[in-house]
Amino acid sequence: MSPAADTPLAILNEVFGYAAFRGQQARIVEHVGAGGDALVLMPTGGGKSLCYQVPAIARHRGGRGVTLVVSPLIALMHDQVSALEEAGVHAAFLNSTLEGDEARRIERELLGGRLVLLYAAPERILTPRFLAMLDSLHERGLLSLVAIDEAHCVSQWGHDFREEYLGLSQLHERFPTVPRIALTATADDHTRADIVERLALNGAEQFVASFDRPNIRYTIVEKDEAKKQLLRFLRDEHEGDAGIVYCQSRKKVEETAAWLQSEGISALPYHAGLDADVRKRHQDRFLREDALVMVATIAFGMGIDKPDVRFVAHLDLPKNIEGYYQETGRAGRDGAAADAWMTYGLVDVVNQRRMIDESPANDEFKRLQRAKLDALLALAEAHDCRRVRLLSYFGEHSTACGNCDNCVHPPAVWDGTEAARKALSCVYRFRQHGGISFGTGHLIDVLRGKHSDKVAQHQHERLSTFGIGADLSEQQWRGVLRQLIAQGHMRAEGEYNTLELADSARAVLRGEVSVHLRVPSDPPKRGKASRAG
Ligand code: ADP
Ligand code: ZN
């Protein structure tokens, strides 16, 4: 065989059947192949796997032995290993799904230096037995490379922190001369700094790809009747397409799937509470069929490689921008036009805030989660380009994209200062009047001057703020309150989501700052006539 046969490009051509490297792959492969450490930040679908698989093959051919791949996801390991074996690359995984005999067979292949890549979960790798095997390989010069996939799991700032990942620093202490490549699709500065620090990758070269997914159109609509809005979106824009609808709870997943079915849409539920065989069956159908809508919790999606997902819809607000980006990123991996569509309303803001408040986490962690939620709310409430905001969260500068709702139909903004002052002063009066706080429903009733039982019970018709907001509809008030909470002027607290003023409310009440609000609207559908009325 000529030496040229072992070049990265030759490996890419012959083993994987691809003509050329994409983006920064060639540079990464060369750097790692030569024994350099690397940190690779590349969006989902960007082609991270080849960044370690090609060097692994090259180095194995050069007599350097096995590449250890740390991966948290069993499904992913399985898919990768099958694909590699099919391409004629000797690879295996060790995880809890294997029988003892099979595990021992793989261990023999490993110790014999025959394996090119071994995938394993971090908790497995850090067992004394496994470390002893690595020692043995290392002593004989047969531990070639360590690849750490989903490296953001090492960071609490990331969206799926895994305790076991912290232990991976041991590998470097034990085998300081073995090169490492860490890979992730989560690129914000915080997570990146955590990865570098906790995996001791200070000397590693960083390769940062653009996180833009230009073929995805981002749309965030105000929640009115979420299910009907979803149905309209599916019928108007995605008839016969495959897509994912994310909901927060298992119950809502089941209800929504059943409802879509009753509306004649081929939909299936997926969440962690379903039996394993049901989950598998639904997942297989989703992968196989062209027009299936998967209604799911975020348990669905990690490691699912279906290129022609035409839309990802959110009926509930994700936890943060990382989550939103990951979840929407499952759309359009084939590069063709795809939609990321979300409905978002007052209840979402209130619920997400409350979930953070009530979580058992420590204050520092809660503070972090609130900051991240605020960033997501700012994206949801934005009047300007969604993509610019999304990318800037990941430290990337860009200009208005022309392919998001706000670019296509710039939203009208109104000066909501007066409305904001009415609402905030009414919240203030509640406290002053009876010393108790109320939720949004009652606040809207009082503002609109509605003589409800609760109003009578608390004699709120006597408040000076009673009826001062009759000029706005109930739906309009919900929009105002949502934005006031999202902008941090008031909070919904406790079991009943009662409203309290935040410090910044004072400046609004005194007329020192003005409040700009989005005009509630359902943007007209693209390429079709605007809705009448
Ligand atoms: P990631 O792990 O970054 O989400 P993958 O490694 O799974 O992405 O790659 C996404 C898809 O792109 C896979 O189907 C992969 O085979 C394909 N791919 C990656 N690099 C190339 C390339 N250089 N040429 C053609 N296809 C590629
Ligand atoms: Zn835009």
Q: What are the residues whose beta carbons fall under 8 Å from the beta carbon of 293, sequence distance 6 or more? A: 234, 242, 243, 244, 245, 260, 265, 266, 267, 268
- Is the pLDDT at 82 greater than 60, yes or no? yes
Distance (Å) from CA 184 to ligand 1 centroid: 14
Distance (Å) from CA 400 to ligand 2 centroid: 5
The better pLDDT of the pair 145, 364 is held by 145
d(CA 289, CA 105): 36
Position 112 scores a pLDDT of 94
- Give this prediction's pTM: 0.72
- Is the pLDDT at 522 greater than 80, yes or no? no
Distance (Å) from CA 399 to ligand 2 centroid: 8
d(CA 99, CA 418): 68
Proximal ligand: closest to the CA of 403: 2
Proximal ligand: closest to the CA of 382: 2
Pocket test for ligand 1, best of 18, 150, 308 (most atoms within 8 A of CB): 18
Instruction: Please give the average per-residue pLDDT across 348-363, as a whole number.
Output: 86
**3-class secondary structure, 36:** coil
User: How far are the Cα atoms of 256, 444, 449, 499, 519 from residue 469, in angstroms, in the given order?
Assistant: 35, 8, 8, 17, 17
CB 380 within 8 Å of CB 342 = yes
Indicate which atom in ligand 1 lies nearest the CA of residue 42. Answer: 3
- Strand-strand pairing, 516-518 and 413-415: antiparallel
CB 270 within 8 Å of CB 296 = yes
Phi and psi, residue 463, nearest 5°:
-65, 145
What pLDDT band is residue 530 in, cutting at 50, 70 and 90? very low
Proximal ligand: closest to the CA of 16: 1
Q: Which residue from 10, 43, 22, 108 is spatially nearest to 387, judged by alpha carbons?
A: 43
Indicate which atom in ligand 1 lies nearest the CA of residue 307. Answer: 14
Position 415 scores a pLDDT of 93
Quick one: residue 240, left, alpha or beta (phi over 0 = left, psi -120 to 50 = alpha)? left
Indicate which atom in ligand 1 lies nearest the CA of residue 20. Answer: 23
How many C-beta neighbours within 10 Å does residue 257 have?
Answer: 23
Prediction ipTM score: 0.97
Distance (Å) from CA 272 to ligand 1 centroid: 28
Proximal ligand: closest to the CA of 150: 1
What pLDDT band is residue 191 in, cutting at 50, 70 and 90? confident
Q: For 253-260, which contacts have Cβ atoms below 8 Å and span 24 or more sequence positions?
A: 253/295, 253/296, 253/297, 256/227, 256/230, 256/295, 256/315, 257/295, 259/227, 260/230, 260/231, 260/234, 260/293, 260/295
Query: Which residue minimizes the CA distance to atom 25 of ligand 1?
Result: 18
Pocket of ligand 1 (CB under 6 A): 18, 21-22, 25, 42, 44-50, 305
Report the mean per-residue pLDDT for the chain: 91
